[in-house]
Amino acid sequence: MASDLPLDAYDKKILRLLQAQGRITNQQLAEQIGLSSAACWRRVKALEESGTIKRFTALVDPNRVGQPLTTLVMVTLVRHHIDNTAEFERRILEYPEVLQCYATTGNADFVLRVVIEDMAAYDRFLNEKLFSLAGISQVSSNFALREIKNETAIPIR
């Protein structure tokens, strides 16, 4: 249905606006990009169906829902089992307090961002979840003193 790629100028404007205001009405969106509302609506649907728009979401302030502690965790695995990596990743996906996880170059194998209530809860996370995984070699916890920026909008060029 939705052809893959390439995005034209209208699509790019749509993506910029929907990243800034996810609940803008289709009519306002259409007006701002300079298309009829039907044409705009079809483009938004196509962008959703092609996966360019993964989904819509509400961004919640973690401080206001009792999860003020952010930690960046560097994890290194032991090199013995080839299954370690797959198993590690599978378990990480199940932990809701781990919002992000990347396999990276450099000293650590993985970098995680963990959002949680307080130090006691983080201690439980380490002992009951992270340290219980097979094949963990090193874990380094870097606590966020301050959030300078936390943006979800990808620059559309």
Q: For binding to its own copies (CB under 8 A), which residues are involved?
A: 5, 7, 15, 18-23, 50-62, 64-67, 70, 72, 89, 92-93, 96-106, 108, 110-111, 115, 117, 140-157
Point out which span in 41-49, 79-87, 103-111, 119-127 binds DNA (CB under 7 A). Answer: 41-49
Report the C-alpha gap between 68 and 120 in whole angstroms: 13
Residues 43-82 as x/- pattern, contact with DNA by CB under 7 A: x---------------------------------------
- CA 93 from chain center: how many Å? 12
Query: Is residue 25 close enough to count as binding DNA by CB under 7 A?
Result: yes
Pairwise CA distance, residues 61 & 130, whole Å: 25
Contact 74, 140 (CB under 8 A): yes
Question: Which residues lie across from 76 on neighbouring strands?
Answer: 138
Q: Does 10 bind DNA (CB under 7 A)?
A: yes
| Nearest CB to its own copies, comparing residues 38 and 99 | 99
Rg (CA), the chain: 20
Q: What is the sign of the dihedral through the CA atoms of 121, 126, 128 and 130?
A: positive
Site residues, DNA (CB under 7 A): 3, 10, 25-28, 35-39, 41-43
